[in-house]
Amino acid sequence: MRVTADLSFGPGFRWGVSTSAYQIEGAVAEGGRGPSTWDTFCAEPGRIMNGDTGEIACDHYHRYAEDVALMRELGVDTYRFSFSWSRIQPSGIGPAVASGMDFYDRLIDTLLGAGIQPAPTLFHWDTPQPLEDAGGWLSRDICDRFAEYALMLAERFADRVPMWITINEPMVLTLMGYSLGAHAPGKQLLFDALPVAHHQLLAHGRAVQALRAGGASYIGIASNHAPTWPASDSVEDTEAAGLYDNLINWLFADPVLLGSYPAGFEAAMPGPVADDLAVISTPLDWFGINHYSPVSVGATTGQADTAATDGILLPPGLPFEPRQLTGYPTTDFGWPVVPAAFGEILRTFKDRYGDRLPPLYITENGCAINDEPVDGVVTDQRRIDYLDGYLRALKEAIDDGIDVRGYFQWSLLDNFEWAAGYSQRFGLVHVDFETLERTPKASYHWFRDVIGRG
């Protein structure tokens, strides 16, 4: 279980862990916090596995000092968390709630006191419910609200926060929340959800400008990306995979890094698109990639394997079909473990964007391994094997000249895993969801050794 000497990234490389507000904070009705779309979604029968909710989650709202102590012992120098918009602006508009701002003041000051740099994300899918009621991310108005929110946060925290993230994984909210209805707010609009992508990207650009106006610096986005592999060499499968690749990857990266949409998508976006793209492509200081596993895609057969889509049955008539990758080990979530795909997506970014690509950070990477404690010890060797493989692939990419400056593991804690509830454990630290006791796993100690090597 020890780390070999070659798994070293050198001085200056940032090591961190990532979490998000709704997945760990709990305290959904405390401190003036208003309801978010995820509170509403969880209250709808049948939406979440086992009827789980984030009402308590890991109770990080009350136990943040304990969690910061775990991070300090782990040795990370950066903590990526997210602000709860509903905790700061319950209606998504107007002045901040003092108790919400005060909570993040305490968290940030505790992090800094432990020698850990805060790297907050402004938005990780938990839209204030009143904004959703007014149209949510289908409405252009939310971009104005998001810019106001960003400025408010910058003016309060920029003096102590050295690294900022605007939006987490806009693809997932678009696809899972508005297109397929598997996440909040549960809409099934299929391709009519494309305006959600545009408005999130526009809100991102507006937020970059607002953060800088409020004194913040070193700003990026956390966008999820993975290789799309055609299910075969046939023309049909290759074309289907190409469309899926544009829809899942480049629809969300090209506007930010090139100021344009992939061919055929601009006409589907609400305008004025050209003016919006100039805002969306406001230069970044860095770009964050969240990566988990590659996707195999082919032409539609009508016999899609729902294991390839986290159990979601896709509607008929789509021009592509995700397929289950075979021949690889899988996580307990059923995701294939393919370290080479990690290096592939990083090289694809370098090849696609060239000099337009800012420095990269890996803002999420990790796996669901659901081992439970035995005599107080969690021996999650499969997570160690996963991390070892993916970190080696990352180091090879860096050695090949790709400018990656940090790696933030998902996640510090086992947490509320969205529609999967508490069934999937991504944490380096085991959480007993009855007692909320934290138990560092074997992977926690292994990762601490990696960090200690630099």
Cα dihedral sign, 388-450-371-47: negative
Question: Is 25 one of the annotated active-site residues of the chain?
Answer: no
Indicate the helix (H) or strand (E) that contains 398: helix 381-399
Q: What are the start-end ranges of the E strands in 247-379? A: 287-290, 295-298, 321-323, 360-364
The DSSP letter of residue 114 is T
Rounded-to-integer distance, Cα 128 and Cα 85, Å: 6
Rounded-to-integer distance, Cα 285 and Cα 141, Å: 26
Rounded-to-integer distance, Cα 287 and Cα 404, Å: 10
Point out the catalytic residue in the list 132, 169, 321, 344: 169
Q: Quick one: angle between helices 60-74 and 442-452, nearest 10?
A: 50
Main-chain phi, psi angles of 439, to 5 degrees: -130, 110
Whether residue 231 contacts residue 297, with contact meaning beta carbons closer than 8 Å, is answered with: yes
Instruction: Say if strands 404-410 and 14-18 run parallel, antiparallel, or are unpaired.
Output: parallel
**CA atoms in the 13 A half-sphere facing the CB of 395:** 14
Instruction: Say if strands 14-18 and 78-80 run parallel, antiparallel, or are unpaired.
Output: parallel
Q: Does 23 carry a binding-site annotation? A: yes
Q: Does 417 carry a binding-site annotation? A: yes
SS3 118: strand
- Within 8 A by CB and 6+ apart from 202, the residues are 140, 143, 276, 279, 280
Instruction: Say if strands 295-298 and 321-323 run parallel, antiparallel, or are unpaired.
Output: antiparallel
Whether residue 185 contacts residue 40, with contact meaning beta carbons closer than 8 Å, is answered with: yes
Q: Does 38 carry a binding-site annotation? A: no
Question: Is 169 one of the annotated active-site residues of the chain?
Answer: yes
Rounded-to-integer distance, Cα 97 and Cα 92, Å: 11
Point out the catalytic residue in the list 364, 372, 396, 434: 364
As annotated, the active-site residues are 169, 364
Please report, in range form, the residues annotated as the binding site. Answer: 23, 124, 168, 292, 410, 417-418
Please report, in range form, the residues annotated as the binding site for substrate. Answer: 23, 124, 168, 292, 410, 417-418
